[in-house]
Chains A and B, each alone.
Chain A
């Protein structure tokens, strides 16, 4: 039966060869050699004719990902030594744009939830008949067609910028709530009869929230039902708002590259304000900021902190140790670490490209608020 599919698939693949713009690469990870061979042959018959590479261990798969560029990883969960969830945790952290499908015989809601929380695109039970396998192939083909990294934009509507989406909503005079999320933070824009009436993101509301959301370069996007009773806080037109936001964004960039401007919280013994960090210090309760680039030779930047070198050394070591612990546990990516103390609270989060961000908060700020504010600061810093 499987061989028959392979023959039919070959004919289809030949007919679509000329339409192929670029060849995708799929990495297939499973500890079962027979199964790897079988799936490799079957997946090579997809209309887009991807190159299918295989690995029978998590460590080898990670090594292959480091040396080659793949469009899609298909992994099993149950494997000796490093199981699929541990692989997912590492892969998602290192390759945030890689498409991932879990293909498993393990039927357990907990694993499904954990896999989705680790950011997999699909969770598939291994196909058991022709129809299921056809569906599976269709899904893979569809995923390969939509590559977030190469096309950019918001997942859920690739190749459209957020400005395009907002303009579309306004021009069509529709009523809806746009829910936009980037990492752990999210925002909403309320559109009523083609007019933007309100926005909310982090601790911002109204036009300020709208500008905040527009500063996000990528994320997820969905349209929620309209809320006609939402009070109006924005009275500017859609085009006016977009122009104002673009202007504010340009001015912000100009300030970052221009001369340093003192901030209210910077008086006294604090070091000179860093133009890059200054906008982040506006968030409620921020006492100090410290950024540590991924390359340890590049100097750290700090705002409002005296012993930056000591804190940086500790934060780097703590982040490394806790990240390795998470990988060993299979608990996923280390998202955030927060601490509460008598003098101050603090939090740190890491981004693979930018490095580590550590923020100190006034001790009067509630712990729950520290967590939320840190998410917003981190998202702003990364974007």
Chain B
């Protein structure tokens, strides 16, 4: 029966936590995100956030702070001189289906 459970107990990638800042081009300027998190992933988050801020300015929906809520993850971003400071934090689930 061991065949049914033969993989080593290492799991999928953990959600990145920490804070980092990006410039107006989405390049990472400073970061407290652990080095185990791929740099490409951090850059991707930064560029996505900056592109949303920039798009909003063009559409006249300007704002200074944005909170992106995923089911298990939260990204908070504040605009800083064209760039942004970004906070990454996993969320604990608040609700579980009773079924």
Q: Which residues of A contact B (CB under 8 A)?
A: 1-2, 32, 34-35, 38-39, 77-79, 83-86, 89, 92, 104-108, 110-111, 113-114, 116-119, 121, 125-130, 133, 146, 155-156, 181, 220-222, 307, 310-311, 313-314, 317-318, 321-322, 325-326, 328-343, 345-346, 367, 371
**C-alpha spacing A85/B72, complex, angstroms:** 11
Q: A220-B99, A340-B64 are in contact. Are A330 and B12 (CB under 8 A)?
A: yes
Contact, CB under 8 Å: B72 / A334:
no
Contact, CB under 8 Å: A334 / B59:
no
CB of B81 within 8 Å of the partner chain:
no
Contact, CB under 8 Å: B15 / A322:
no
Contact, CB under 8 Å: B2 / A346:
no
**C-alpha spacing A39/B6, complex, angstroms:** 14
Contact, CB under 8 Å: A337 / B71:
no
Q: A116-B93, A126-B4, A321-B52 are in contact. Are A346 and B63 (CB under 8 A)?
A: yes
**Which residues of the other chain, B, contact A127 by a CB distance below 8 angstroms?**
1, 4-5
Q: B71 touches which one: A89, A128, A146 (CB < 8 A)? A: A89
Main secondary structure of the interface of A (DSSP, over half): mixed
**Which residues of the other chain, B, contact A105 by a CB distance below 8 angstroms?**
5-9
Contact, CB under 8 Å: B3 / A332:
no
**C-alpha spacing A105/B65, complex, angstroms:** 40
Main secondary structure of the interface of B (DSSP, over half): loop
| 8 extra A-B contacts, CB within 8 A, seeds A110-B90, A329-B73 | A78-B7, A105-B8, A114-B15, A119-B97, A321-B48, A341-B62, A341-B65, A346-B61
**Which residues of the other chain, B, contact A336 by a CB distance below 8 angstroms?**
69
Contact, CB under 8 Å: A78 / B10:
yes
CB of B56 within 8 Å of the partner chain:
yes
Which of chain B's residues 41-92 have a Cβ closer than 8 Å to chain A? 41, 44-45, 48, 51-52, 55-56, 58-73, 90-92
**C-alpha spacing A342/B64, complex, angstroms:** 8
Contact, CB under 8 Å: B5 / A338:
no
**Which residues of the other chain, A, contact B64 by a CB distance below 8 angstroms?**
340-342
**Which residues of the other chain, A, contact B66 by a CB distance below 8 angstroms?**
337-340
**Which residues of the other chain, A, contact B93 by a CB distance below 8 angstroms?**
113-114, 116-117
**Which residues of the other chain, A, contact B52 by a CB distance below 8 angstroms?**
318, 321-322
Q: A220-B97, A346-B61 are in contact. Are A330 and B11 (CB under 8 A)?
A: no
Contact, CB under 8 Å: A325 / B5:
no
**C-alpha spacing A371/B74, complex, angstroms:** 13
Contact, CB under 8 Å: B97 / A155:
yes
Contact, CB under 8 Å: B12 / A314:
no
**Which residues of the other chain, A, contact B99 by a CB distance below 8 angstroms?**
121, 146, 155-156, 220
B48 CB to nearest A CB, Å: 5
Q: A317-B55, A318-B55, A329-B70 are in contact. Are A77 and B44 (CB under 8 A)?
A: no
Q: Which residue of A lies closest to B40 (CB)?
A: A328
**C-alpha spacing A108/B66, complex, angstroms:** 31
**Which residues of the other chain, B, contact A335 by a CB distance below 8 angstroms?**
69-71
CB of B13 within 8 Å of the partner chain:
yes
Q: A329-B16, A339-B61 are in contact. Are A222 and B98 (CB under 8 A)?
A: yes
**Which residues of the other chain, B, contact A325 by a CB distance below 8 angstroms?**
44-45, 48
**C-alpha spacing A34/B4, complex, angstroms:** 9
**Which residues of the other chain, B, contact A326 by a CB distance below 8 angstroms?**
68, 70, 73
**Which residues of the other chain, B, contact A337 by a CB distance below 8 angstroms?**
66-69
**C-alpha spacing A104/B9, complex, angstroms:** 9
**What are 30 sample pairs from A and B whose C-beta atoms fall under 8 A apart?**
A38-B3, A38-B4, A77-B12, A78-B10, A79-B12, A106-B10, A111-B11, A114-B15, A116-B96, A118-B71, A119-B97, A126-B4, A127-B4, A127-B5, A129-B1, A156-B99, A222-B98, A313-B59, A318-B52, A318-B55, A321-B52, A326-B73, A329-B16, A329-B73, A330-B13, A332-B73, A334-B70, A339-B63, A339-B66, A341-B61
Q: Which residue of B lies closest to A312 (CB)?
A: B59
Q: A332-B70, A332-B73 are in contact. Are A86 and B61 (CB under 8 A)?
A: no
